[in-house]
Chain A
Amino acid sequence: MHSIPGRRIILSLFLIFLLLPIYWLVNMSFKTNTEIVSTMTLWPHHPTIANYMRIFTDESWYSGYIHSLNYVVINTFISISFALPAAYAFSRYRFLGDKHLFFWLLSNRMAPPAVYALPFFNLYSAIGLFDTPWAVALAHCLFNVPLAVWILEGFVSSVPREIDETAFLDGYSFPKFFVKILVPLIASGIGVAAFFCFMFSWVELLLARTLTSVDAKPISAVMTRTVSAAGMDWGLLAAAGVLTIIPGALVIWFVRNYIARGFALGRV
């Protein structure tokens, strides 16, 4: 009753469509540049891991990954810890300007990063954070904090109010209730929100590139170096691309059981 005719074929075709370009990138990353440019081969005939070795041994390459992970983790941590109390407030109470505040937060999630690139550059240069992971982490809060509030609000609302009331009757103070009872109850929601913060911070490039120059340069900006006087180093570019997919794939594997609900932002 759930399914539609020919669903297997439709789904298989779509999944192949999703995987084919990724396969091509992986395929290229194991080839030498000569093989890439000279012949069209569906799989590497002379497989090599030289491209990967170069990334793992050259500091300017692998430090890009460390920088990226650095600001992504800081950002996820800030977003979740700031958003949790706010999500609780929006879910449980009415207060002056609550609807407007919620809308204002939401509208920031939709703000185009291109608008903010230049002012952010000025702002973070002025306060001396330019070219640190903190600048990028704080800048990404612009869209990740509202998103986290939005997702967590949905999850908090699914916890019955009676639980709060019972806890307070039992003499729990607010902070104790929060840490001991609420957080464990919405643990899966926190996981989902963290996943989304990780995801949007990891994939964003424009702000990350604008706010860093040397010391905190993200991997996506390092990748532009593969263009040299000798032409494109396709194999290296492909290998770097494949390595950026891996953290995402790992994170998805951990939250696979919550993905569907998380994508509905806790609202199903």
Chain B
Amino acid sequence: MDKTVNQKAWFLVLPVFLIVAFSAVLPLMTVVNYSFQDTFGNNQFFWNGVGWFKELLDPSTDLGSRFFASLWRNLFFSAVILAIEVPLGIIVALSMPRDGWRVAACLVILALPLLIPWNVVGTIWQIFGRPDIGLLGYVLNNIGIEYNYVSNEFDAWATVIVMDVWHWTSLVALLCYAGLKSIPDAYYQAAQIDGASRWAVFTAIQLPKMNRVLLIAVLLRFMDSFMIYTEPFVVTGGGPGNSTTFVSIELVKIALGQFDLGKAAALSLVYNLIIIIVCWVFYTVMTNAGVDRQRTQGAA
């Protein structure tokens, strides 16, 4: 489908442009402003040049070491939850019932965790995992597994990861389910006539049809796990020690906890830059996938 060139379309886009610019560009200018300045308090600022950025990107300083530690921790966390949630989401989507009231019931239950406020998600798991009053913690400790997410690093990590799987696997599952629903029955009938195995149906029909929504799923899950704040903050508060302090938690600690505006601003900008680069890569892959799809459809 060819789009016509029409510069007047800008008038339709202008309201969105203005409101997002108001919410995004204006505040970001403040951040840029802070990132080059230092303060002795009393609203007196002086020019600090790239000082904060140097400190931030140098792992031997306090700020730099904290930044890189939280960054690696966060990337590791994102990698783990993607490795669990994407396959699990696909399996759940493939297990969905065909039709009838069961589908509606399953969809509603699947979507439920997505609509719970993030701090309540944290609260739910905080309670659920407690050895004294939570079912999970109580059962684990009673069958002989020492489990305490407050004092043990491994348990804290496990809790945060299981919580995220609980919270977001549904998103991947629902996206994949939407992809699967769009496959016409004729494809399956053809596969049956050819005597294709279950695995062949999956790799040749279902996976290619899902790859576009899977891309969206991976993008959304990566981004949201990379900026995760509320849930681990409620459950572990970033601890024990700093073991579950992710980038956003570190940032809020510096900005609102210590009120180190310059450091926080420099960290914000680098953080944002990483996100924009990753986002750009995904966007390019996604648009290219779209073009390829249109081309193959056009040929067929």
Contacts and interface: CB of A to CB of B under 8 A. Distances in A.
Contact of A244 (B24, B117, B132, B177): B117
25 contacts: A1-B192, A15-B109, A17-B166, A18-B112, A24-B124, A24-B127, A86-B16, A89-B12, A92-B4, A93-B4, A98-B9, A103-B279, A110-B227, A115-B272, A142-B20, A142-B23, A157-B1, A199-B115, A241-B120, A244-B116, A245-B115, A248-B115, A252-B112, A257-B104, A268-B179
Given A22-B124, A114-B251, A234-B127, 11 more contacts: A2-B98, A7-B95, A7-B96, A22-B112, A37-B133, A83-B16, A85-B12, A93-B9, A96-B10, A204-B117, A248-B116
Interface string B228-253: 01100000000000000001110110
B188 A18 contact: no
B132 A37 contact: yes
Contacts of A139: 23
Q: How large is the interface on B (under 10, 10 to 19, 20 to 34, 35 or more residues)?
A: 35 or more
Interface string B1-20: 10111111110110111011
A117 B256 contact: yes
The range of chain A's interface size is: 35 or more
Interface string B168-189: 0111001101111110000010
Interface stretch (B25-33, B59-67, B148-156): B25-33
Contacts of A185: none
A237 B181 CA distance: 40
A268 B16 contact: no
A193 interface: no
A57 interface: no
A85 B174 contact: no
Interface in A86-121: 86, 88-90, 92-96, 98-99, 101, 103, 105-120
B264 interface: yes
A95 B141 CA distance: 62
